[in-house]
Structure 1
Amino acid sequence: MILQPDQVIDAEIVRILRSSGLCLEMGRIIQASLNADSPTGELFRWAHLTSMCCECIGGDTETALPGAISMELFALAADIFDDIQDKDHDDLPWRQIPEANAINLANCLLMLSFEAIAAIPDDRIYREVCTALQRMGTTASNGQFLEFLYTDSQRVSLEQYFDMVRQKSGSITACACKIGAILGNATETLAESMAKFGLNFGIMNQIRNDLNDFLDFEKKKDFVSNKKTLPYVYLCHTLKGETAGQFKRLTQCYTGESQAFRDKEKHLLKQIATEEGVAQYCSVMFEIYRQKAREILETIPVPEKQKEKMINLVG
Structure 2
Amino acid sequence: MHSFESLSKDFAAFFQKSHFPDQPASLYQPADYFLGLGGKRVRPVCCLMGNELFDEILPDTWQVATAIELFHNFTLIHDDIMDKAPLRRGMATVHSRYGEPTALLAGDVMLVVAYDYLNKVRSEHFHRIIQLFNRTAREVCEGQQLDMNFEKSETVSLDAYIKMIELKTSVLLAASLKLGAILGGAGEGNLHHIYEFGRNLGIAFQVQDDYLDAFGDPDKFGKQVGGDIMANKKTFLLIKALESADPALKAELDALLQSNHPDKVEKVLAIFRACGVDEWAKTLKDQYLSAAFQHLDDIAVLSKRKEPLRSLANFLVQRDY
TM-score normalised by structure 2 residue count: 0.83
> For each residue in 1:250-287, what CA deviation from the matched residue of structure 2 results, as whole angstroms up to 9, or x when unmatched?
2222xxxxxxx243222212222233333222111111
Tell me how far 1:51 sits from its aligned partner: 0.7
1:236 pairs with one of 229, 242, 246: 242
Match of 1:59 in 2: 56
Structure 1 residues 107 and 60: CA distance shift in structure 2, 3 A? same
Correspondence for 2:319: none
- Number of residues of Structure 1 aligned to a counterpart in Structure 2: 299
The reply to whether residue 305 of structure 1 matches residue 304 of structure 2 is: yes
Distance 2:50 2:36 in 1: 20
SS of the equivalent of 2:53 reads helix
Stretch of structure 1 that moved more, 288-297 or 196-205: 196-205
Residue 94 of structure 1 is matched in structure 2 by 93
Q: Residue 17 of structure 1 is aligned with which of 3, 6, 19? A: 19
**Partner letter of residue 57 of structure 1?**
F
Correspondence 1:112 to 2:113: yes
Matching residue of 1:256: none
Q: How does 1:182-193 map to 2 (within 5 A)?
A: 182-193=182-193
Distance 1:266 1:223 in 2: 6
User: 1:119, CA displacement in angstroms?
Assistant: 1.6
CA deviation vs aligned residue, 1:80-114 (integer Å, no higher than 9, x gap)? 22232233462334253223322222222222221
TM (normalized to structure 1)? 0.84
* Matched-pair contact (CA < 8 Å) for 1:36–1:93: no
Q: Closer, same or farther in 2 for the Cα pair 1:82/1:193, shift >3 Å?
A: same
Flag structure 2 segments of 5+ consecutive residues without an equivalent: 1-5, 315-321
The worse-fitting range, judged by mean Cα deviation, of 45-54 and 90-99 is 90-99
Shift of 1:6: 4.9
CA pair 26-12 structure 1, distance change in 2 beyond 3 A: farther
Q: Are 2:65 and 1:68 aligned?
A: yes
Cα distance in 2 for partners of 1:131, 1:269 equals 44
In the other structure, the counterpart of 2:280 is 281
Give the C-alpha shift of residue 211 in structure 1: 1.9
- Written as runs of structure 1 = structure 2, the 5 A alignment for 1:1-315 is 5-6=7-8, 8-10=10-12, 12-15=14-17, 17-18=19-20, 20=21, 23-24=24-25, 26-34=27-35, 36=37, 38=39, 43-60=40-57, 62-88=59-85, 90=87, 91-94=90-93, 96-97=96-97, 98-122=99-123, 124-214=124-214, 222-253=228-259, 261-315=260-314
State the alpha-carbon separation in 2 of the partners of residues 112 and 62 from structure 1.
Answer: 18
Q: Equivalent residue of 1:263, what SS?
A: coil
**In structure 2, how many angstroms separate the alpha carbons of the residues matched to 1:220 and 1:118?**
44
Q: CA deviation at 1:35?
A: 7.0
Distance 1:205 1:22 in 2: 39
In the superposition, relative to structure 1, how do residues 225 and 86 fare at CA in structure 2: closer, same or farther (>3 Å)? farther
Runs of 5+ consecutive residues of structure 1 not aligned to the other structure: 254-260
**Cα pair 2:68 2:114 within 8 Å, conserved:** yes
